[in-house]
């Protein structure tokens, strides 16, 4: 993927995230419901992957997914950095990393869109297994949920692949100063944490396959009206 294409994808994703945030600002009840959805999803991930979170080998990667990819936060500061300095990002970061950041931005935008839809479907309701599954069916976003899982696994696979590129890891370390000057410290921190997490894992195939399999089975259960 060329840097220009990656830059355009990042900016478009950030615009999409901004649209979702504006919807919530305009409707405080919706915003409250979305926060509840994010909290429920965070708790669900913790329960689904309790074994990985307790594993000496997989705990770090599971925690990275829980907080950085499935986390309940809005990542507002990271998004602000993206929006301000996408040209600097494309100029400073290796093309491989820019491509991964574009994928991360796409995942972030899709997740925010789905959270808004789910929040709207669950306004005024207690969120539990039954109401959550029903809301997914009301939203009818099965292809989008499948894409969300795909992107999550792809981001993890990219970070794992980069751990085998010693030069790329050293380049990222050397960029700490320039990244801070350019206002990219939050992104730099995310990438370094991802690198370190997957390097410690010693191969992410088993971990990513577990994530992919469980998430797809859970998604199928949601859309097929089975209890999750």
Cβ atoms 186, 79 nearer than 8 A:
no
Higher pLDDT, 179 or 227: 179
User: What number is the average pLDDT over the span 150-161?
Assistant: 92
User: What number is the average pLDDT over the span 165-180?
Assistant: 70
Higher pLDDT, 194 or 206: 206
* 228 has pLDDT over 70: no
Confidence class of residue 163 from pLDDT cuts 50, 70 and 90?
confident
* 143 has pLDDT over 50: yes
pTM: 0.85
> pLDDT digits over 47-90, tens only?
999 999 999 999 999 998 888 776 666 566 666 666 666 666 67
The percentage of residues in the chain with a pLDDT greater than 70, rounded to a whole number, is 80
pLDDT at position 227, please? 46
- For the chain, the structural domain boundaries read 3-223
* 199 has pLDDT over 60: yes
> pLDDT digits over 34-47, tens only?
999 999 999 999 99
* 148 has pLDDT over 90: yes
Higher pLDDT, 99 or 178: 99
């Amino acid at each position: 993927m060329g840097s220009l294409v990656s830059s355009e994808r990042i900016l478009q994703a950030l615009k999409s995230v901004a649209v979702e945030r504006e919807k919530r600002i305009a409707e405080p009840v919706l915003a409250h419901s979305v926060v509840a959805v994010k909290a429920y999803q965070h708790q669900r991930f913790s329960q689904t992957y309790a074994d990985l979170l307790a594993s000496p080998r997989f705990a770090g990667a599971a925690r990275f997914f829980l907080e950085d990819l499935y986390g309940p936060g809005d990542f507002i500061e990271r998004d602000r950095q993206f929006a301000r300095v996408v040209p600097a990002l494309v100029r400073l970061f290796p093309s491989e990393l820019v491509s991964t950041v574009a994928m991360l931005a796409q995942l972030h935008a899709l997740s925010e869109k789905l959270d808004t839809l789910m929040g709207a479907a669950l306004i005024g309701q207690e969120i539990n297994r039954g109401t959550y599954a029903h809301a997914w069916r009301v939203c009818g976003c099965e292809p989008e949920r499948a894409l969300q899982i795909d992107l999550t696994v792809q981001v993890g696979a990219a970070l794992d692949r980069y751990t085998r590129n010693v030069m790329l890891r050293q380049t990222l370390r050397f960029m700490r100063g320039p990244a801070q000057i350019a206002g990219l410290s939050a992104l730099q921190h995310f990438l370094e944490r991802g690198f370190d997490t997957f390097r410690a894992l010693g191969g992410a195939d088993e971990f990513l396959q577990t994530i992919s399999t469980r998430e797809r089975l859970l998604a199928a259960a949601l859309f097929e009206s089975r209890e999750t």
